[in-house]
Amino acid sequence: MSKRKVLEDKRQKLLTRRNLIKRAGALGGGLLLTGCDTQFYKPPVVRDGLMGVADIMTMASQRMLMSNEQLVQEHDSSEITKNFPVWNQSNPEDEEYQRLRSTNYQDWRLPVTGLINNPISISLSDLKRMPRRSQTTMHICEQGWSAIAEWTGTPLLSVIQAAGGIKPEAKYIMISAYGGWYEGYDMFDVTHPQTILAYGMNGKDLPLGNGAPLRLRVERHCGYKQLKFIKSIEVVSSVENFGRGTGGLNSDYGFHWYAGA
């Protein structure tokens, strides 16, 4: 083969691969960010030095693999785990949380603020009137266990849309929880159809230990990203101002970016 032919061949391959990634990206999460494929490969945490490079590589390869696989597997109800674990925090010792719990979360409100067109504050009954999705999925904790449950909730994207949509500078959302946890998510996660704010588990209200009254299900991530006891959502252009600035409680304390399930 001539040198020219070899080069032409390579370029052709590259182009098709690029088109594939672009197409998959647009399908996967493009509702708010159509056609903007580079956004999908930006890791939320950019660390200095070698570890930073490792995180970026892990995330880039996960996003590459996941772009062909739109949804995580959904299971049959017969596969639901009988005693789904309650892991880590089970009842935050937070005065405000305890007050809200004492009246069955009647006064609980979810503020959605930051780089969003119409900041809102929504109640549980508001959420329950919005579009609803149920999914039976496997929760995989990075600490070595997994279990299956059915989760019911409002797609995060519907909540963002109810707040008028994001502003152009918006890149991530930060979710804070009662009890002090927080995690950041990029728009790839936010717009994914299986990303829901869950108020139901196995057909009942979300139990206390599993994050009542509201937790996140962001199915392509490991357990630590499934934030429980949700308190507020803020749309941001940078994660720098939260905690130690790496994009979440876990990465702030030295855990590295994990691929999803």
Ligand X SMILES: Nc1nc2c(c(=O)[nH]1)N[C@H]1C(S)=C(S)[C@@H](COP(=O)(O)O)O[C@H]1N2
In the bound state with ligand X, the residue whose beta carbon lies nearer, of 177 and 239, is 177
Among 40, 105, 108, 229, binds ligand X (CB under 6 A): 229
Candidates 24, 72, 196, 227: give the one binding ligand X (CB under 6 A): 227
Query: What span, in angstroms and rounded, lies between the C-alpha atoms of 90 and 228?
Result: 9
Taking a C-beta distance cutoff of 8 angstroms, is the pair 188, 259 a contact? Answer: no
Which among 127, 89, 124 is positioned nearest to 108, based on CA atoms?
A: 124
Question: Going residue by residue from 93 to 132, which x/- string records binding to ligand X, judged by CB under 6 A?
Answer: ----------------------------------------
Contact between 224 and ligand X by CB under 6 A: the answer reads yes
Stretch that binds Mo ion, among 26-34, 101-109, 136-144, 161-169 (CB under 5 A): 136-144
Among 31, 37, 58, 85, binds ligand X (CB under 6 A): 85
| C-beta separation of 167 from 173 below 8 A | no
Q: Which of 30, 44, 223, 247 binds Mo ion (CB under 5 A)?
A: 223
H or E segment and range at residue 95:
helix 95-102
Smallest gap from Cβ 23 to ligand X, in A, equals 33
Residue 198 · residue 151 · CB < 8 Å = yes
Residue 80 binding Mo ion, by CB under 5 A = no
Containing H/E element for 13?
helix 3-29
Cβ-based nearer residue to Mo ion, 153 or 223: 223
Cβ(3)–Cβ(49) under 8 Å? no
HSE toward the beta carbon, residue 247, CA cutoff 13 A: 23
| Site residues for ligand X per CB under 6 A | 85-89, 141, 177, 179, 181, 209-211, 223-224, 226-229
